[in-house]
A and B are shown apart, each in its own frame.
Chain A
Amino acid sequence: MTALSFASETLTRTGNLNLASVPPLPEGERKGLTKKEVAADHPTWCPGCGDFSVLALYFKLIEKRKMHHEKITTVAGIGCSSRFPYFVQAHGAHFIHGRALPFATGVALSRPDLHVFVFGGDGDAFSIGGNHFTHTARKNVKLTYCVMDNNVYGLTKNQTSPTSPLGYKSKTDAWGSGDRPINPMKQAIAAGATFVARTTHTNPNHVLQMMEAAMDHDGFSFIECLSECVEFYPGAFDGANPRKGGQFPLVPEDHDVTDEYAAYKLSEDLMPGKFGIFYKVNRPTKNANEAKIISTNREKFVALPDWQILQKNFDRMK
């Protein structure tokens, strides 16, 4: 038998760990977090950026829902909005460009006790990460994805984004963008997302409402949140801001959120478009499907330690 140089051993966390015992804190005795307790680094966004409002409302959601630090899991890819996890005092991950969704899926599927929030921008979601958007929606992984759409690449300073409107003049399209922009709502519905909502940073109450509904949805919940880039695309969403002479039309009350075609129809004109929940259905989540596969498989091995399950296989290979 081959000797193991690195035998199994109990690994301590690190030398830096303050080993003073931490008193147990029953759920009931814990207070909800204040904004101060949940804020971490000061955001690096430009003054006036729409992303501030999304962050403030995430704090509000945490406060309102009495979430504890350790249960908050914030994941992002790359982009201005994707700096998000640094600003939240909680476990978080700032992953690579476009791949926040598969990373978050790994967390969500292996840690069903956590509700993962993923924040990102339009480039992350619909350009470099387009494939993952489709497949995470299709798999119906239980997590919330909030895309802070500013219709431009901001972090790299004004290049065309997949949602930039036709004719948008950027550093890469000085004569105006000629590529048909992606319609995030249609994209999400067609891909099989089971919760599809639209909001804008200028209506805080509505953002919070959508975040809460998304969090409560059992499945892949997608929020398209318009979030203005004041530096490179100021005024992009004035048409959806009543204070700038625009309109904020809600999804009609008689809209059937389980009607895929009606939801698709609602997505047709997006300036200003409609705001609210376009589509919401219940379909088994990837999490539930995996859990079912596990419980069916484990039925045969109740009370058996893992090594005996493996031994059964090995005995058949003699």
Chain B
Amino acid sequence: MSDATTAAPAQAGGIPQISHISEAVIRIAGNSQDGIQAIGGFLARLAGRSEQEVMTFMTIPSTISGGPSIFQVRIGSGEVLSAGDEADVLLCFYQHSYEGHLGSLKKGGIVLYDSDHVKEIPPENLSKYRHIGLPISSLVVEAIGGTGRDKGKNVYALGLIAKMFNLDVPKLHRLLQERFAGKDPKVAETAIAAFNGGYSHTLATAAELFKFKPGENVGHNQIVMGGNEALAYGLIAAGVRFGAGYPITPWSDIMELLRKELPKYGGSFIQCEDEIASISMAIGASWGGRVAVTGSSGPGISLKTEALGWAVMAEIPLIIVDVQRGGPSTGMPTNVEQSDLNIACFGGHGDSPRVVIAPSSVEDCFYTAIEAVNIARKYSTPVIILTDQGIASRIEAFAMPKLEKICQDISPDFTPVADHKPYDLAAADGITRHLAPGTRVASGKYPIVTGLEHDELGHPTGSPKLHVQMTAKRRNKLKKLGADLPTPTVFGPPEGQVLLVSWGSSKGPVEEAVKQARANGDAVSALHIKYLNPLPNGLEKIFEAFSHVLVVELNDEGFYGYGQLGAVLRARYCDPKIRGLNKVDGLTWKIREILDRVKAMTK
């Protein structure tokens, strides 16, 4: 909200003046059962419908019910790359929310609190932040009656925010009606009454109200969703019709969505007894003729690695989603970390090359899923989509995909063949292609798939020569993929002092850090790597033009001072200027954190 520009003339009668702003960060803090995510979701969706950019950030307790929870939403009329370092407005429901989150509010920011619950305000805070105390809990009872009190608090607060930011009330009413469509009409009526209660509050104690400048994404026809949703829908668009999984946070949303949606397309998603069964079942279905999906988060991925090795050996196309969380072991199940790169790229026994791709935003989740399916099919290989809790749970608006063009049919081909050797060493492109069971082979010689080293038909062999040849075959087809991958382009000038290398969800914050650094006159650029295994070629040429290459990762700096991608880049390029810029606090990057670390590492 720092770039508030034209302040409207102050109006008479103690009515707060209206400032026109191009962006705002609003943090809502309470308990998880307060429906805080719902308020955030409404705000995000409203922004999407208002042709604005939006990004959210939430923390959810890993306890079963309740516990402190927050939702932060950043709405911008222009580009939004991160959820924002500091909040402009903090809405807090409880004393603990007030105490826990005041530090996230920028100096001079507005704290709107429920004075029924927040009782102790240290006097020294009053000069630092603008305090607006309202007995929200009592006001909700006034608006909708005692019974709906706990349920209505969030919507009442949404009304207050709508008032404060002059949000589009008819659009919000419509969102509320859509949200409660199909339920007892009284539910929507109560929600609207609660909203109107909040909206009709004068907020007379506020010195200033706000209004967003019109959004820049005019005519974009935006949709709003979370990263896990986008990934699941991407798989559907890609033609995936079978999946198998086992519940684990934060992957479960994807399996729940696929379970619900796939039958509409004639497909199934099966909840299995364990992680091993789920990857095995997905591999079986893939072999059945159509690429299938399984997924998990860190601990589950560990369990899947033996079967993954089989899919590498048998060269079966397969999609494995890893929604990373804090590890090792049960770790920090509801926090973000990027510490599964090693297991994704190298996890398992033996030499088992596979493909690893990481989406960088909610929109990218959708398209990455499609791309992963196409790579899996084209190269007959398992592909790991390495997403993370940070993208999984955040909401963004993006342009409506052109579904008619994008959606693909990948149903198997059962046309009889004269003869077939899946592992033909003489194949021009070096790539294995399987026949789906049910396909007639006129020669009467049928191929087999196995985890044993095999000959060209898939039959087991102990031949040293064949093991050498087949190992090379499995490696070379993916080397070829690496050579076909586009070299990523530098964000900012292609030469300078510092190159920040990012992967996954860090892309937005890193690019925002670059913008800020350049605004301060520092020669900082960024390079985002989407294809992590194999890497695209040509990175060394990009590195040459910078004095420092800092790999920004949400994982530990390890024994030698660089994180997991840092280690891979060092191994490949033997370049000592590649260093790690790491953290493991379970939270997404703040822009200031990146800039401070860059300064400290390069002075």
On A, residues with C-beta under 8 Å from B are 1-2, 4-9, 11-20, 22-25, 37, 40-41, 68-71, 73, 75, 85-86, 89-96, 99, 101-107, 109-111, 113-114, 131-132, 134-135, 286, 290, 293-294, 296-298, 300-301, 305-311, 313-314, 316-318
Assuming the contacts A69-B440, A69-B446, A111-B437, asked whether A310 and B424 have C-beta atoms less than 8 A apart, the reply is no
Question: Which 10 A-B pairs have CB atoms at the shortest separation, nearest pair first?
Answer: A106-B284, A16-B424, A91-B437, A14-B433, A307-B407, A102-B280, A297-B263, A102-B277, A106-B285, A135-B273
Query: Is B233 part of the binding interface, using a Cβ–Cβ cutoff of 8 Å?
Result: yes
Q: Residues of A contacting B310 with CB < 8 Å?
A: 95-96
Let me know if A293 and B378 touch, CB within 8 A.
no
A44 to chain B, nearest CB (A): 9
Q: Closest B-chain residue to A75, C-beta based?
A: B284
Query: Is B261 part of the binding interface, using a Cβ–Cβ cutoff of 8 Å?
Result: yes
Query: Is B266 part of the binding interface, using a Cβ–Cβ cutoff of 8 Å?
Result: yes
Identify 19 new A-B residue pairs, CB closer than 8 A, beyond the known A70-B438, A110-B288, A314-B223. Answer: A4-B367, A14-B431, A15-B424, A70-B446, A75-B284, A86-B460, A93-B287, A94-B452, A95-B283, A103-B281, A106-B244, A107-B284, A107-B288, A290-B270, A293-B268, A297-B263, A308-B403, A317-B225, A318-B223
Assuming the contacts A96-B280, A132-B277, asked whether A317 and B223 have C-beta atoms less than 8 A apart, the reply is yes
Which listed residue (B242, B409, B420) contacts A16, Cβ 8 A? B420
Let me know if B242 and A310 touch, CB within 8 A.
no
The distance in angstroms between the C-alpha atoms of A20 and B417, with both chains bound, is 8
Q: Residues of A contacting B277 with CB < 8 Å?
A: 99, 101-102, 105, 131-132, 135
Assuming the contacts A293-B263, A306-B409, A310-B407, asked whether A70 and B289 have C-beta atoms less than 8 A apart, the reply is no
**B 417-436 binary contact with A (CB < 8 Å = 1; else 0):** 11111101011110111011
On B, residues with C-beta under 8 Å from A are 45, 48-49, 178, 221-225, 233, 236-237, 241-242, 244, 261, 263-268, 270, 272-274, 276-278, 280-290, 292, 306-307, 310, 314, 363-364, 367, 370-371, 374-375, 377-378, 399-404, 406-409, 413, 415-422, 424, 426-429, 431-433, 435-442, 444-452, 456, 459-460, 485-486
Which listed residue (B222, B264, B419, B451) contacts A18, Cβ 8 A? B419
Which listed residue (A11, A22, A41, A114) contacts B440, Cβ 8 A? A22
Q: Residues of B contacting A41 with CB < 8 Å?
A: 459
Q: Residues of A contacting B451 with CB < 8 Å?
A: 94-96
A178 to chain B, nearest CB (A): 28
The distance in angstroms between the C-alpha atoms of A94 and B447, with both chains bound, is 11
The distance in angstroms between the C-alpha atoms of A111 and B288, with both chains bound, is 6
Q: Residues of A contacting B307 with CB < 8 Å?
A: 96, 99
Q: Residues of B contacting A301 with CB < 8 Å?
A: 264
Let me know if B268 and A290 touch, CB within 8 A.
yes
Q: Residues of B contacting A70 with CB < 8 Å?
A: 437-441, 446
Let me know if B486 and A5 touch, CB within 8 A.
yes
Let me know if B429 and A15 touch, CB within 8 A.
yes
Q: Closest B-chain residue to A96, C-beta based?
A: B310
The distance in angstroms between the C-alpha atoms of A106 and B272, with both chains bound, is 11
Let me know if A107 and B264 touch, CB within 8 A.
no
Q: Closest B-chain residue to A89, C-beta based?
A: B446
Q: Residues of B contacting A103 with CB < 8 Å?
A: 280-281, 283-284, 287
Q: Residues of B contacting A286 with CB < 8 Å?
A: 270
B376 to chain A, nearest CB (A): 10
Let me know if B441 and A69 touch, CB within 8 A.
yes
Let me know if B417 and A114 touch, CB within 8 A.
no
The distance in angstroms between the C-alpha atoms of A306 and B364, with both chains bound, is 21
Let me know if A294 and B263 touch, CB within 8 A.
yes
Q: Residues of A contacting B415 with CB < 8 Å?
A: 22
Let me know if A8 and B459 touch, CB within 8 A.
no
Let me know if B264 and A309 touch, CB within 8 A.
yes
Let me know if B418 and A313 touch, CB within 8 A.
no
The distance in angstroms between the C-alpha atoms of A24 and B417, with both chains bound, is 10
Let me know if B437 and A11 touch, CB within 8 A.
no
Q: Closest B-chain residue to A139, C-beta based?
A: B270
Let me know if B285 and A110 touch, CB within 8 A.
yes
B327 to chain A, nearest CB (A): 24
Let me know if A17 and B417 touch, CB within 8 A.
yes
Which listed residue (A15, A131, A309) contacts B265, Cβ 8 A? A309
Assuming the contacts A69-B440, A298-B264, A307-B404, asked whether A317 and B448 have C-beta atoms less than 8 A apart, the reply is no
